[in-house]
Amino acid sequence: MLETHHYSGDEWEQYCLLLARRYYGADQVQEVPARHGGDLGIEAFTFCGRAFQCYAPIEPLSTSERYDKHRDKLSTDLRKLSTKQKDLHQLLGDVKIANYIFLVPIFDSAQLVKHASVKSEEVRSKNLPFIADDFKVTVATDNIYAKERSEVLERLTTLVEIVPTPPGDVDNWMDGNSQLAETVLEKLAKLNLSLASRRAYLEQLVNQFLDSENALTRLREKYPDQWEAATGARVRKERKLVLEYPPGSANSAADVTTIAKSLKEELARQAPALDDSFVDAMSWGSIADWLMRCPLDFETSESA
């Protein structure tokens, strides 16, 4: 995952469980949802005796602040091995936990290792039926799954889903922005398209524009570094539009597609963590934006 990203608890948990499934095998990792039945102090376990607790405190934090939060979380969840032992015994069956892996995004305190060692001894002393005699707590980051992490990062993940804009929202936008819509229609007329074709083209452009803007809003909230990379690439492309596509160089729908493809390639280079569907929507959304605001225009065709 991106080092500059501050994880939410759910994001970190899902990422850690993905790594665990790749390392141990998907059929060897049992997730333990907390929603129905309460939090039992573990978020997953393997049938070979590993238990996982994934914790991502809200950053930024100092080393001391981070240690306090890690220590308190670890203590609280390990205590549940005893207070929830009946439920855990039923859950685990004949599995004995030998290693309790406490996964955190940042780990920079030797004091936490000492704390984990003390807690390991405390848990062993309780003689719980599902705890192995050599039980230990391991504090770690995703570095312990380095190979699996590389495999995950090499595969583009969907940071933000593209949620299709309802047709009614497209109509409402065009009604409320009739001047902008008319500007696009006038420009599309220069491409020698029929009125029906221009209106259909405009509708799809507005659809892509709204899809893109909504996705960018969610991207900014969750991954501000990726939002900055994506919008920066778009701004740089816009500044070069007149140089790369001077008036008269684009006079067909195919030329518009070429411009969108060029922007898509630029976005892929500048923000490689974004998946293809996001980049595609943003490229066409940018075309719509440029047509509305005038950075992009066409020369009137001779037959128009």
Token pair for 242: 């007149």
E-strand stretches of 26-83: 29-31, 44-46, 50-54
Residue 174: CB atoms within 10 A of its CB come to 17
- Is 140 in a helix, a strand, or coil? strand
What does the alpha-carbon distance between residue 126 and residue 114 come to, in Å, rounded to a whole number?
A: 19
**63-83 and 110-125 are packed helices; what angle lies between their axes, rounded to 10 degrees?**
10
Query: Which DSSP state fits 299?
Result: P
Q: 90-138: per-residue pLDDT in tens? A: 999 999 999 999 999 999 999 999 999 999 999 999 999 999 999 999 9
- Walk along the chain (304 residues) in steps of 10 and give the mean pLDDT of each run: 58 87 89 74 95 93 95 97 95 96 95 98 97 98 89 68 89 92 87 85 92 91 81 86 72 79 83 82 91 76 48
State how far the alpha carbon of 295 is from the alpha carbons of 45, 211, 246, 292, in Å: 55, 21, 10, 8
40 burial via Cβ count (<10 Å: 0-12, 13-18, 19+): buried
Q: What is the pLDDT of residue 78?
A: 97
What does the alpha-carbon distance between residue 135 and residue 158 come to, in Å, rounded to a whole number?
A: 37
Query: Which DSSP state fits 1?
Result: -
Q: What is the pTM of this model?
A: 0.54
Owner of token pair 């001391």? 64
Beta bridge partners of 137: 100
Sheet holding 131-140, edge to edge: 29-31, 44-46, 50-54, 97-103, 131-140
Domains of the chain plus CATH, in order, are 9-154 (3.40.1350), 167-293 (no CATH)
Helix (H) or strand (E) holding 133: strand 131-140
Owner of token pair 């049992």? 30
What does the alpha-carbon distance between residue 304 and residue 188 come to, in Å, rounded to a whole number?
A: 11
Q: What is the pLDDT of residue 4?
A: 41
